[in-house]
A and B are shown apart, each in its own frame.
Chain A
Amino acid sequence: MSTTSTKNEHFQDHLMEHHHKENFFTKYIFTMDHKMIGKQFLITGMIMGIIGVMMSMLFRLELAYPEQSFPILEFFLGKWAPDGVMDPNMYLALVTIHGTIMVFFVLTAGLSGTFSNLLIPLQIGARDMASGFMNALSYWFFFLSSVVMIASLFVESGPASGGWTVYPPLSALPQAMPGSGTGMTLWLISMTLFIVGSLLGSLNYIVTVVNMRTKGMSMTRLPLTIWAFFVTAILGVLSFPVLLSAALLLMFDRLLGTSFYLSDIFIGGEVLSYSGGSPVLYQHLFWFLGHPEVYIILLPALGISSEVIATNSRKPIFGYRAMVGSILAIAFLSFIVWGHHMFVTGMNPFLGSVFTFTTLLIAIPSAVKAFNYITTLWKGNIQYTPAMLFSIGLVSTFVTGGLTGVILGDSALDINVHDTYFVVAHFHIVMGLSAIFGMFAGVYHWFPKMYGRMMNKSMGYAHFWLTFITAYGVFFPMHFLGMAGLPRRYYSNTAFPMFDNLADINVLITYFAIIGGSAQLIFIFNFFYSIWRGPKASQNPWKANSLEWTTPVEHLHGNWPGDVPVVHRWAYDYSKPGYDEDFVPQNVPLAEGEESGH
């Protein structure tokens, strides 16, 4: 640790000596300051989120009123909605890009990118990330990949349309669907850039957490946010390269005529020359990332909510060690469960048994987390900030969505609901809603740290209640569609009379989706309004313990004006007996005779 502190002193001298002037470009665009990079990730993620949510509203309109004409569809989709009726290919394109954007651009880069960057140096007591340049590079790869993904929406043959998992051969053959042409090539290029950016970021997070913690900040004193970001980064480093290889091989099959995934195909009136490949190989590679990806999305949200729930319950997080243990257990298990996405691919039944076993085990650490959250609320003194409401919302959706995982993870039961709306309901609630609630909680909670101002709480409340109610209104009824056997990714259900009596449910879902989507305008308005007009924040508005609240409100490069604070205790000494205040920041030395316990 002593080397670290000398380094910090050097850094401080460096700051004093060269106080170079910043212009617009060095401050906002090519910045290497972790706080600004975090904001860049957030704003980009928000823009992508708006696009992703708008897409879902368009296809929800189609699902509620199949094959009907809406001028708004023609306005947005042009030739893909002749006379206002959505083309089936465009429907598939919208669900594909909606999934891709929400999973990768919003909930991976937008969530993890924002808060890992903002909080890791601030909460561990470091001046910045280990490599500021790599960090900036990570954002710019992400930015470039967003631009390519958006550009793919405008190509002649349409964007990628094979579902966000882009299984070959569908995604490999332009003859199979128009979206598998240029749009798909751009999708693969965009994802390649995205993965590079994500790897640069993750490596940086790991190195920073391991090497740059301030004096006294042992691993067992880290806030749970940092544990979550740290483990998430490890997951990313181990799994994203596998997706990269999957994407590269797919590109070879598409552009160079190799046969990694393709074999014995007759399409468009001719036999193609591919031979010996296996489409199922792609699925193995994809889901080897794909399942850890679920936790890459979820863990940061769980970390954020742990922090927010403890702070606002004015209580220590219950079972800190069990919380860390369950994060590690979930992370480990997430690498050996990918096959539960593939129960019906015809893989060896023995493998199916193994994956059922490992998958259902994940329920145990997940249950521990849920119960620990609830016990943290017990006998608390709960402060209802909008962040706290979103965190409680997260616990609710995590439980609701997690429970249906017990059904889907069981291979024998999965057979009948695989790829139906039951699955859509499950992953939207457990992963989508939980993660987006965690992200909102994070924005409301750390907005004062990001912009030095407070967000409007009344709008925050309105935003939460509308979002919470409509989100369940959209996704809960989908369980019933799935139990009726309705497959997902159907442009319309009218081809099967057996689904005719489900039309009303689809209309109801669409109403909720439109209201819920529109309610996000409140958040966006509040966010931008508060950046410029919000009331000035005090240094520690939530009376929290972690180190980020010991930095001045005004941002400064290097975070602390004087020495980096030294840590004497864990981050959860809330309402500790013997103290008048109900919080004791981490940098407060132990009182005489006080035991830290951590």
Chain B
Amino acid sequence: MNTVSIIVLIVLAILTIVQVMRISEISSSIQDGKDNQVSEKDNDTQGKILLLVGMGFVISVLVMYWAWGYHSLPAPSSEHGAEIDSLWNLSMLIINIVFFIVQPILFYFGYKYRGKKGTKAVYYEHNNKLELFWTMVPALALAVLIIWGLNVWSGLMMPENEEEPIVIELYAQQFNWTARYSGGDNQLGYATVHEIGGANIVGVDTEDVYSSDDIVTKELHLPVGKPIKFEFRAQDVIHSAYFPHFRAQMNCVPGSKTYFQFTPTVTTAEIRQNKDVKNHVGEVNDIRAAKGEDLWEFNYVLLCNKICGAAHYNMQMEIIVETEEEFNAWLKEQKTVAETL
């Protein structure tokens, strides 16, 4: 079926070219081959098409917002996420205003001033007041965005902690994630690639006193409302830990550690009740049901977002945000490094 449609497309494309060619041959013979200069009629036609297609584009952008806007990620599930989203909304508002003013003007001028015989353009070479105006207006708008943006950024990267964050290591390798909880001492034991072997998948140094209570898991459970400080490591190539629902992302770089801290605010159970999420799940499950695939239940997910090899597209880990009691109960069931290695 697909092959057929492609062949049809190719044939159509070739036919288009042949037709266009014939039309142009004929039309140029009518114009007695006046070295293919543009005529007044061309200016008129092309100016009108420009207005039509240009406005069509502007309207289609509105249609896309209406048709696909709801695909955007649901409201953030982290404390700092709300702030990022406010800044995002303001930036989007500004750039959309500019877009919906500038594009129509461009296409309208193209149409309005299409060339006509006997008219002469206005000789207008510069106007310093105008230049100053459209230097200052963007500068002012950007000043607001820069100041607010830097504020949000420093809050993100240098958080002021009221309570001590829980330290969790995320360990990336081709093509999976591993989490290591720091245990009762909230200190991760030393780890190095030289210790990797057998069950010791993240290379924990068992001699290190801090390592004995560390807990290595393949699921990422997080307590709601607690600041969590992630330490990222990678064992082979660069990966990137991308938590879209929490508005968080940080690269995992072999040979060094990177950090990111956030506080989850919505548990998995709660977000499944979110109206937008429910709609999203419903839509996805309609598609899956039609294809005979397993139905999907919403889960937070950690994706790899830096090209890392053949299975990059399938490097993921489930994230479960739960109440502190549930989290502690789960953590208690897990085996510590001292018990496993």
| Bound CA–CA A313/B267 (angstroms) | 60
Q: Are B153 and A411 in contact (CB under 8 A)?
A: yes
Tell whether B341 is near chain A: CB-to-CB under 8 Å.
no
Contacts of B173 in A (CB 8 A): 266
Contacts of B199 in A (CB 8 A): none
Tell whether A360 is near chain B: CB-to-CB under 8 Å.
yes
The size of the chain A interface, using a CB distance under 8 A, is: 141
Residues B1-53 near A (CB distance < 8 A): 2-3, 6, 9-10, 13-14, 16-17, 20-21, 23-24, 27-28, 33, 35-38, 42-43, 46-47, 49-50, 53
Contacts of B210 in A (CB 8 A): none
Contacts of B61 in A (CB 8 A): 476
A382-422, CB under 8 A of B: which get 1 and which 0?
11110001001001100110011011001111011011100
**Contact pick for B106, options A353, A395, A412, CB 8 Å:** A395
Contacts of A88 in B (CB 8 A): 310-311, 313
Q: Are A415 and B247 in contact (CB under 8 A)?
A: yes
**Contact pick for A177, options B113, B235, B259, B309, CB 8 Å:** B309
| Bound CA–CA A232/B157 (angstroms) | 36
| Bound CA–CA A535/B126 (angstroms) | 38
Tell whether B221 is near chain A: CB-to-CB under 8 Å.
no
Nearest CB of A to B294, in Å: 9
**Contact pick for A413, options B50, B88, B138, B313, CB 8 Å:** B88
The chain B residue sitting closest to A384, CB to CB, is B46
Q: Are A457 and B123 in contact (CB under 8 A)?
A: no
Q: Are B115 and A357 in contact (CB under 8 A)?
A: no
Q: Are B9 and A518 in contact (CB under 8 A)?
A: yes
Q: Say which one of B237-245, B320-328, B331-339 lies at the interface with A.
A: B237-245
Interface centre among A65, A322, A381, A483 (most CB of B within 10 A): A381
Q: Are B288 and A500 in contact (CB under 8 A)?
A: yes
The chain B residue sitting closest to A487, CB to CB, is B305
Q: Are A315 and B47 in contact (CB under 8 A)?
A: no
| Bound CA–CA A481/B68 (angstroms) | 9
Tell whether B269 is near chain A: CB-to-CB under 8 Å.
no
The chain A residue sitting closest to B131, CB to CB, is A322
| Bound CA–CA A416/B248 (angstroms) | 6
Nearest CB of B to A341, in Å: 12
Tell whether B105 is near chain A: CB-to-CB under 8 Å.
yes
Q: Are B255 and A265 in contact (CB under 8 A)?
A: yes
Tell whether B174 is near chain A: CB-to-CB under 8 Å.
yes
Q: Are A357 and B121 in contact (CB under 8 A)?
A: no
Q: Are A487 and B121 in contact (CB under 8 A)?
A: no
Given A316-B124, A344-B249, A490:B53 Cβ within 8 A: no
Q: Are A392 and B123 in contact (CB under 8 A)?
A: no
Contacts of A317 in B (CB 8 A): 125
Residues B74-127 near A (CB distance < 8 A): 83-84, 87-88, 91-92, 94-95, 98-99, 102-103, 105-107, 109-110, 113-116, 119-127
A151-190, CB under 8 A of B: which get 1 and which 0?
0000000000011000101100100110000000000000
Q: Say which one of A115-123, A219-227, A247-255, A570-578 lies at the interface with B.
A: A570-578
Given A70-B2, A469-B53, A535-B36, A497:B296 Cβ within 8 A: yes
**Contact pick for A374, options B2, B109, B174, CB 8 Å:** B109
| Bound CA–CA A318/B123 (angstroms) | 10
Q: Are B121 and A381 in contact (CB under 8 A)?
A: yes
| Bound CA–CA A454/B89 (angstroms) | 49
Tell whether A12 is near chain B: CB-to-CB under 8 Å.
no
| Bound CA–CA A572/B126 (angstroms) | 12
Nearest CB of A to B178, in Å: 13
| Bound CA–CA A222/B232 (angstroms) | 53
Given A280-B253, A382-B113, A407-B95, A456:B84 Cβ within 8 A: no
Given A88-B313, A265-B193, A582:B121 Cβ within 8 A: yes
Q: Are A319 and B126 in contact (CB under 8 A)?
A: yes
**Contact pick for B119, options A381, A395, A418, CB 8 Å:** A381
Residues A539-573 near B (CB distance < 8 A): 541, 572
Tell whether A538 is near chain B: CB-to-CB under 8 Å.
yes
Tell whether A472 is near chain B: CB-to-CB under 8 Å.
yes
Contacts of A416 in B (CB 8 A): 73, 84, 88, 244, 247-249
Instruction: Pick 24 A–B contacts, CB within 8 A, sort by A.
Output: A167-B307, A264-B255, A266-B173, A266-B193, A271-B194, A315-B124, A318-B125, A345-B258, A346-B250, A349-B153, A367-B138, A379-B122, A382-B47, A406-B142, A410-B149, A413-B88, A415-B247, A480-B68, A480-B71, A480-B72, A484-B72, A495-B313, A496-B303, A522-B17
In addition to A72-B6, A495-B313, 18 A-B residue pairs with Cβ atoms within 8 Å of each other are A266-B196, A278-B253, A344-B251, A346-B253, A374-B106, A375-B124, A377-B106, A381-B120, A400-B103, A406-B142, A416-B247, A416-B249, A418-B240, A418-B305, A420-B305, A498-B280, A500-B288, A521-B14
